[in-house]
C-alpha cells in the first residue's frame, strides 16, 4: 500500500500544479510549528496598506501583520515593533504576530526582574514632574532622561502606550521603583544593527528611507542601519547639494558600495544602478560636431562644460578666442551657469575626456578677411597694443592689423608709436597688405594723408603747360620730375628714341639712323631745341596730355 504522505505520480497532461504552488506547499509543510515557540524580534514598518502592515524584520523577505492587530493604534513607516514569526504565507512573506513581554504581577516578580536585568512590559499612565508614571504591575517612575523622548509633544504621545523597560532602582520597603526605557531601546537598536551589518554585502541592492540631508550627502535608513549616500553618488550628473535631488522621507533604491564593520559604516550609491553615460559617448559625440552645454566649473586652464548628466568636456583657454592676445583666465570669457555652443575637437573614451572649442563655434574671423578688408580699404579700429616696432589695431573679434612705426606719420620720423598713439585710441588706417595664411594684416596711417602728387594733380588739368626736368630715359619714354615727389612720363620722338636705343645697345639700326639724320636735317632750319633737349638733367617745357587721379599718373608731351 502506498504511503499516504506521498502523492501519487500523475501524467504530464494531468499535472496542473505550477512550480510556485509546489514551492508554497513545501514552505507550508516546513513552516515552524507553534509548539516550537515563536521567534521574537524587532521589525521596522516600511509600508502601511488598507488591511496590513509590511515590516522589515532583517531578512531578505519582509514580514506582514494584519492591520487589525493594532486595534486602532496609529502606525507609520519607521516605527519599531516587537513581533513574532509564525511562519510563511503563500506569497512568501513572513507571517507575524505582535510580541508580548512579561508583565510582573507582584513585588517578588519585580525583584527577580531587577536582579536578572530582565526587560519587562509597562504602560505609561501619565506625565509627572521630571518624568512619567508607569504601570508595571505597580506604579513606577521613569525619568525623562531615561524615556527616550525630550520634546513635550513626544511626551504626550507616549502616554497610554505600552513600553519595554528595565528596572534600575527597587526599594520594596519604600515601594520605590524606577524604570529605564532608553537603555532597552538602545540595546535593541544595537542588536538590530549588528544583525543588519552581518547580513549586508557589498554589491547588494537595498531599499531605504532618506532620514536626513547634509551638505555632503544623505543618511538613508536601510532597515535599522544608516547608510551614507555621498552627494557624488546620487546621480551621474553634477549635484550641487543633496536637497536638490532628495527629500527627507523619500523612498530610494541603491547599491551597497562599501561596508566598514569596524567603524559601522555603510556607503550607498544610487547612480550605480543606472547605465553609465560614458558607455554611449563614442556613438553620440563626433569630432567636428557642434553641440551645446552648460559651464559647470572654471579652472585656471579652462572651463568644464556639461554636455549631458555625467558627461563633461573641457574648453582649454587656448580654444576660447581667436584674438591675438591670449585669454589669461577662463572667467574673462565665460561664467558658471552659462549655456554655450562648442565644437568637439577630440574624444578619448578610455580616459573619459572630451576636448571642446568655443572659438570654433563662433566661426573663423579670418575666413573672409580678404573680402571684408581688401587692399586700399580705409578701416577703423581700437589700438590694443603698442610695441617699439609698431601698433596693433583690433578691427573685429579675432582680426587685428599692425601699423609699422614707419607708416604712422607722413610728416616726421617717430621713434616709438606711443609718441603719436595711445592705448584704446580709435584710429583710421589704410589696408596695405593681407596675408591670410599667416593671419597678418598690414595697415598704414600716413598713406591716407594727401601727398604732394595728390595736391599737384588736384591743382592742374589736362592741357596745362608745365616745366620739368628729365631724370631718365628708357623704353622710348622720358621720366620727368615736375616737383618734389611728382613725376610724369613723356613719349620720345622716334628719332630720339632710336638714338637712345642705339647708344644703349652700341649698335646702329640703318632705318632708325636714316630717320635720325632726316630729323637732324629738318632741324637745321631752327628746331634743334627739341632734339637736343632729350638728355638727362635737361629742363624742358611740356604739356599735360593726361591726368589719372585713380592711378595717380601724369602723361606729358613735348611743347
pLDDT for residue 534: 66
Q: In this predicted model, what pLDDT tens digit does every residue of 61-84 receive, in sequence order?
A: 899 988 767 755 677 888 888 887
For residues 466-505, one letter each, b for 16 or more C-beta atoms within 10 angstroms of the residue's C-beta and e for the rest, the string is bebebeebeeebbbbebeeebbbebebbebbbbbbbeeee
- Report CA Rg, the chain: 52
Determine the Cα–Cα distance for residues 531 and 520; give it in Å rounded to an integer.
8
Indicate the average pLDDT of the chain.
81
Question: Interior CA angle at 99 toward 98 and 104, to 5°?
Answer: 130
Mean pLDDT of 490-514: 56
Determine the Cα–Cα distance for residues 321 and 363; give it in Å rounded to an integer.
10
pLDDT for residue 474: 84
Determine the Cα–Cα distance for residues 181 and 80; give it in Å rounded to an integer.
14
**Res. 551: pLDDT tops 90:** no
pLDDT band at 400, cuts 50/70/90?
Answer: confident
Mean pLDDT of 45-59: 86
Mean pLDDT of 36-52: 73
| 356 or 406, which is more confident | 356
| 248 or 376, which is more confident | 248
Q: In this predicted model, what pLDDT tens digit does every residue of 202-258 receive, in sequence order?
A: 999 999 999 999 999 999 998 778 899 999 999 988 888 999 899 999 999 999 999
User: Residue 345: how many CA atoms within 13 Å on its side-chain side?
Assistant: 16
Residue 37: Cβ within 10 Å count: 9
| 243 or 98, which is more confident | 243
Domains identified in the chain and CATH numbers: 19-98 (2.40.50.140), 107-186 (2.40.50.140), 200-273 (2.40.50.140), 278-362 (2.40.50.140), 369-448 (2.40.50.140), 452-558 (2.40.50.140)
Question: How large a percentage of the chain has pLDDT more than 90?
Answer: 30
- Give the total residue count for the chain: 559
β-bridge pairing 486-491 and 553-558: parallel
pLDDT band at 324, cuts 50/70/90?
Answer: low
pLDDT for residue 545: 92
Mean pLDDT of 103-130: 88
pLDDT for residue 253: 93
Task: Write out the DSSP string of 431-479.
Answer: EEEEETTTTEEEEESGGGSPPHHHHHHHH--TT-EEEEEEEEEETTEEE
Contact 432, 407 (CB under 8 A): yes
pLDDT band at 516, cuts 50/70/90?
Answer: very low
| 360 or 19, which is more confident | 360
Determine the Cα–Cα distance for residues 325 and 67; give it in Å rounded to an integer.
76
pLDDT band at 411, cuts 50/70/90?
Answer: low
Q: In this predicted model, what pLDDT tens digit does every residue of 468-498 receive, in sequence order?
A: 999 888 888 899 999 887 889 998 877 555 5
In DSSP terms, 304 is beta-bridged to 297, 314
pLDDT for residue 517: 41
Q: Taking the complete model, does pTM exceed 0.85, yes or no?
A: no
Q: In this predicted model, what pLDDT tens digit does every residue of 518-531 receive, in sequence order?
A: 444 344 334 444 44
Mean pLDDT of 258-266: 86
Task: Write out the DSSP string of 171-220.
Answer: ETTTTEEEEESHHHHHHHHHHHHHHHHHH--TT-EEEEEEEEE-SSEEEE
pLDDT for residue 50: 67
pLDDT for residue 193: 77
pLDDT band at 348, cuts 50/70/90?
Answer: very high
pLDDT band at 184, cuts 50/70/90?
Answer: confident
Question: Interior CA angle at 462 toward 458 and 467, to 5°?
Answer: 85
pLDDT for residue 266: 92
pLDDT for residue 257: 94
pLDDT for residue 530: 47
Determine the Cα–Cα distance for residues 401 and 33; give it in Å rounded to an integer.
96
**Res. 532: pLDDT tops 80:** no
Report the candidate in 131, 190, 119, 179 with the shortest Cα–Cα distance to residue 155. Answer: 131
**Res. 192: pLDDT tops 90:** no
**Res. 452: pLDDT tops 80:** no
Reported in sequence order, the residue ranges of 62-202 that DSSP labels E, i.e. its strands, are: 63-66, 80-88, 94-98, 120-128, 131-135, 139-143, 162-171, 176-180
Mean pLDDT of 388-413: 85
Q: What are phi and psi of 165, to 5 degrees?
A: -150, 175
pLDDT for residue 537: 85
Helix ranges (H only) for 94-140 are 107-115
pLDDT band at 548, cuts 50/70/90?
Answer: confident
**Res. 513: pLDDT tops 70:** no
Determine the Cα–Cα distance for residues 546 and 555; give it in Å rounded to an integer.
5
Q: In this predicted model, what pLDDT tens digit does every residue of 268-298 receive, in sequence order?
A: 999 999 888 998 898 899 999 999 999 999 9
Amino acid at each position: 500500500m502506498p504511503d499516504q504522505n506521498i502523492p501519487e505520480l500523475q501524467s504530464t497532461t494531468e499535472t496542473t500544479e505550477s512550480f510556485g504552488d509546489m514551492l508554497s506547499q513545501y514552505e507550508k509543510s516546513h513552516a515552524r510549528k507553534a509548539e516550537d515557540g515563536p521567534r521574537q524580534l524587532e521589525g521596522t514598518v516600511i509600508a502601511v496598506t488598507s488591511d496590513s502592515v509590511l515590516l522589515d524584520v532583517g531578512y531578505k523577505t519582509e514580514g506582514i501583520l494584519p492591520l487589525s492587530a493594532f486595534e486602532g493604534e496609529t502606525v507609520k513607516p519607521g516605527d519599531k515593533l516587537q513581533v513574532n514569526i509564525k511562519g510563511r504565507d503563500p506569497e512568501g512573506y513572513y507571517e507575524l504576530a505582535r510580541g508580548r513581554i512579561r508583565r510582573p504581577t507582584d513585588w517578588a516578580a519585580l525583584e527577580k526582574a531587577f536582579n536578572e536585568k530582565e526587560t519587562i512590559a509597562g504602560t505609561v499612565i501619565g506625565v509627572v514632574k521630571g518624568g512619567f508614571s508607569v504601570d508595571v504591575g505597580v506604579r513606577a517612575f521613569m525619568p525623562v532622561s531615561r524615556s527616550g523622548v525630550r520634546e513635550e509633544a513626544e511626551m504626550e504621545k507616549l502616554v497610554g502606550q505600552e513600553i519595554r523597560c528595565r528596572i534600575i532602582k527597587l526599594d520594596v520597603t519604600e515601594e520605590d521603583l524606577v524604570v529605564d526605557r532608553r537603555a532597552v531601546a538602545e540595546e535593541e537598536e544595537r542588536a538590530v544593527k549588528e544583525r543588519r551589518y552581518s547580513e549586508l554585502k557589498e554589491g547588494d541592492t537595498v531599499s531605504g528611507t532618506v532620514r536626513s540631508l547634509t551638505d555632503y550627502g544623505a543618511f538613508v535608513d536601510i532597515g535599522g542601519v544608516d547608510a551614507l549616500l555621498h552627494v557624488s553618488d546620487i546621480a551621474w550628473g553634477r549635484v550641487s547639494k543633496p536637497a536638490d535631488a532628495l527629500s527627507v522621507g523619500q523612498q530610494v533604491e541603491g547599491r551597497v558600495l562599501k561596508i566598514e564593520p569596524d567603524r559601522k559604516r555603510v556607503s550607498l550609491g544610487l547612480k550605480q544602478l543606472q547605465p553609465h553615460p560614458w558607455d554611449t559617448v563614442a556613438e553620440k559625440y563626433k569630432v567636428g560636431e557642434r553641440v551645446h552645454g552648460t559651464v559647470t566649473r572654471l579652472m585656471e586652464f579652462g572651463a568644464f562644460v556639461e554636455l549631458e548628466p555625467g558627461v563633461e568636456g573641457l574648453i582649454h583657454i587656448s580654444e576660447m578666442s581667436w584674438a591675438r592676445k591670449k585669454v589669461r583666465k577662463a572667467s574673462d570669457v565665460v561664467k558658471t551657469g552659462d549655456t554655450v555652443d562648442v565644437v568637439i575637437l577630440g574624444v578619448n573614451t578610455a580616459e573619459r575626456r572630451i576636448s571642446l572649442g568655443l572659438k570654433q563655434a563662433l566661426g573663423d574671423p579670418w575666413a573672409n578677411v580678404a573680402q571684408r578688408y581688401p587692399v586700399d580699404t580705409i578701416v577703423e579700429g581700437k589700438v590694443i597694443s603698442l610695441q617699439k616696432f609698431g601698433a596693433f589695431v583690433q578691427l573685429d573679434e579675432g582680426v587685428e592689423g599692425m601699423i609699422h612705426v614707419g607708416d604712422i606719420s607722413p610728416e616726421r620720423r617717430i621713434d616709438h608709436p606711443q609718441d603719436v598713439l595711445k592705448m584704446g585710441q580709435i584710429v583710421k588706417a589704410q589696408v596695405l597688405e593681407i596675408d591670410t595664411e599667416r593671419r597678418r594684416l598690414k595697415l598704414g596711417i600716413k598713406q591716407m594723408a594727401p601727398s604732394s602728387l595728390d595736391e599737384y594733380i588736384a591743382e592742374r588739368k589736362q592741357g596745362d603747360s608745365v616745366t620739368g626736368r628729365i631724370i631718365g630715359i628708357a623704353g622710348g619714354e622720358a621720366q620727368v620730375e615736375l616737383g618734389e615727389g611728382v613725376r610724369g612720363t613723356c613719349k620720345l620722338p622716334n628719332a630720339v628714341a632710336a638714338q637712345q636705343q642705339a647708344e644703349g645697345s652700341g649698335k646702329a639700326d640703318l632705318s632708325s639712323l636714316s630717320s635720325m639724320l632726316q630729323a637732324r636735317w629738318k632741324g637745321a632750319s631752327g628746331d634743334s631745341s627739341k632734339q637736343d633737349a632729350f638728355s638727362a638733367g635737361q629742363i624742358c617745357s611740356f604739356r599735360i596730355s593726361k591726368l589719372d587721379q585713380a592711378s595717380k599718373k601724369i602723361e606729358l608731351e613735348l611743347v
